[in-house]
Amino acid sequence: LWPQPARDALTVAFTLPASTDVLPVLYDLLGRRVRVYPGQWAEAGSVLRVIDVSDLRPGAYLLRLQAAQGSTERVLMIR
């Protein structure tokens, strides 16, 4: 994830073992879902995705990337 902390947009890098839809979901640290970003098709291999965070309040969040093969989570900071 970069930049950290983010202000307007955040770039997320991840690797997929197979092509699939990827659904980014953002949670606050209390586990409440803050935003579901539109899912997008991603090819297998290295993927970069830009996430708009311009209207979020400053603080820490958990970003979950959900795909058919499973999910991964990353903590991000918004300033």
Each residue's pLDDT expressed in tens, for the chain with a length of 79 residues = 899 999 999 999 999 999 999 999 999 999 999 999 999 999 999 999 999 999 999 999 999 999 998 999 999 999 9
Give burial (CB, 10 Å; 0-12/13-18/19+) of 65.
Answer: buried
Given this model, what pLDDT does residue 46 score?
94
Given this model, what pLDDT does residue 33 score?
98
Closest by alpha carbon to 26, among 67, 60, 69, 70? 60
Given this model, what pLDDT does residue 79 score?
93
